[in-house]
């Protein structure tokens, strides 16, 4: 084609090429001058929004397959997309509306004959320890925000110790019981 000026050529090339810089280089080669890439990109976006070939309308959408109404209830949406070679789930939704059918719902079920990888569900272990009076008294003091634990006579931590450390004080069982009675029911 023979163009009268650079702008006319750039407007025409917008229909063929997507890159504004490539269009600019073609026009510069021919005329030595050219509109800016910003103007070319604006013409391109205007062309795309106004040209009917670029608009997605119902006349150029993929038509409803003939066997869709029979096959759709037996498959999930992803299976239908794979079966009909559709990349967009909106097409399947439109076909389901047009055919007035529902696809099969996907249900997550384990494969038959297999247990979970972690094995069968086991009940949580229950640790039943009977608490003596001293441990109940220690719980009362813990509810009152005292740090309480078993210890030796010198105050060093011992899970099986005969003494109790309440705060900074080391007490024997009876002394701790008296202190707990001041704060609550033991």
Model confidence over 21-47: pLDDT tens digits? 787 788 778 777 777 878 777 777 777
The domain of 90 spans 58-99
Closest CA to 73 of 28, 44, 104: 104
Same structural domain, 63 and 80? yes
Q: To the nearest whole number, what is the mean pLDDT of the chain?
A: 81
Domain assignment present for residue 173? The answer is: yes
Q: Determine, yes or no, domain membership for 124.
A: no
Both 31 and 62 in a single domain?
Answer: no
d(CA 29, CA 33): 8
Q: Does 30 map to a domain?
A: yes
Q: Is 173 helix (H, G, I), strand (E, B) or coil?
A: helix
Judge whether 178 lies within some domain: yes
Helix (H, G, I), strand (E, B) or coil at 34: coil
Chain segment 154-184, per-residue pLDDT in tens? 999 999 999 999 999 999 999 999 999 998 7
Q: Which of 2-16, 52-66, 92-106, 148-162 has the lowest mean pLDDT?
A: 52-66
* Position 117 pLDDT exceeds 60: no
Q: In whole angstroms, give the CA distance from residue 79 to residue 8.
A: 49
Domain count, the chain: 3
Give domain status of residue 127, yes or no.
Answer: no
Question: What backbone torsions phi and psi does residue 135 show, to the nearest 5 degrees?
Answer: -70, -35
Do residues 138 and 178 share a domain? yes
User: In whole angstroms, what is the distance from residue 72 CA to residue 84 CA?
Assistant: 11
Residues in the chain: 186
pTM for this entry: 0.34
Are 178 and 137 within one domain? yes
**Domain presence at residue 110:** no
Task: Kindly state whether residues 69 and 88 are assigned to the same domain.
Answer: yes
Asked if residue 148 is part of any domain, the answer here is yes
């Amino acid at each position: 084609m023979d163009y009268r000026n650079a702008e006319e050529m750039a407007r025409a090339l917008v229909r063929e090429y997507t890159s504004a810089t490539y269009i600019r280089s073609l026009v510069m080669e021919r005329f030595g001058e050219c509109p800016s890439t910003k103007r070319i990109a604006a013409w391109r976006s205007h062309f795309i929004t106004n040209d009917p070939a670029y608009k997605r309308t119902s006349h150029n959408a993929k038509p409803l397959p003939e066997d869709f109404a029979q096959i759709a209830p037996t498959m999930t949406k992803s299976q239908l997309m794979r079966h009909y070679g559709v990349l967009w789930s909106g097409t399947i939704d439109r076909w389901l509306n047009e055919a007035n059918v529902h696809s099969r719902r996907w249900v997550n079920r384990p494969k038959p004959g297999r247990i979970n990888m972690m094995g069968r569900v086991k009940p949580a272990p229950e640790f039943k320890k009977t608490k003596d009076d001293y441990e109940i008294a220690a719980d009362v003091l813990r509810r009152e925000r005292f740090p309480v634990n078993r210890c030796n006579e010198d105050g060093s931590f011992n899970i099986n110790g005969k003494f109790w450390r309440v705060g900074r004080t080391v007490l024997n069982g009876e002394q701790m019981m008296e202190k707990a009675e001041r704060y609550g029911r033991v």
